Amino acid sequence: DAGVIQSPRHEVTEMGQEVTLRCKPISGHNSLFWYRQTMMRGLELLIYFNNNVPIDDSGMPEDRFSAKMPNASFSTLKIQPSEPRDSAVYFCASSFSGKEETQYFGPGTRLLVL
């Protein structure tokens, strides 16, 4: 298995633009997680899906952020409109079932909003 796949690896955009980050979890994994890593706040869990259903989105910073998981092999994290303070590395992770199982992380998407 190729592991968790994220795209793009790097994204530079201007303030106000829409940004879409993509994730393909490991095949057979039922849980998917989106994290954000910043120097100020470290690593934060944004949202967690189980069987394609959002279980906990309490970490989503505000309405500008939305995440979807239309099927078991694909998820998106969208920011609209983007702001400079959204600049961070966004990680996607998947696990076989739930948060207690080992989470396997993707390489991350480095986002810079100018």
CB distance 105 to 4 below 8 Å: yes
CB distance 69 to 22 below 8 Å: no
Q: What token pair was written down for 42?
A: 């470290």
Find the part of the chain contacting another protein (CB under 8 A) among 19-27, 62-70, 72-80, 102-110: 102-110
Cis ω on the peptide bond leading into residue 8 (within 30° of 0)? yes
Q: What token pair was written down for 44?
A: 């934060």
Site string for another protein, 46-85 (x = CB under 8 A): ------------x---------------------------
What is the distance between the alpha carbons of residues 113 and 59, in angstroms, rounded to a whole number? 20
Q: Is residue 31 near another protein by the rule CB under 8 A?
A: no
Q: What token pair was written down for 66?
A: 């939305």
Among 34, 49, 65, 91, binds another protein (CB under 8 A): 91
Among 31, 94, 103, 113, binds another protein (CB under 8 A): 103
Where do contacts with another protein occur on this chain (CB under 8 A)? Answer: 4, 35, 37, 41-45, 58, 91, 93, 99-100, 102-108
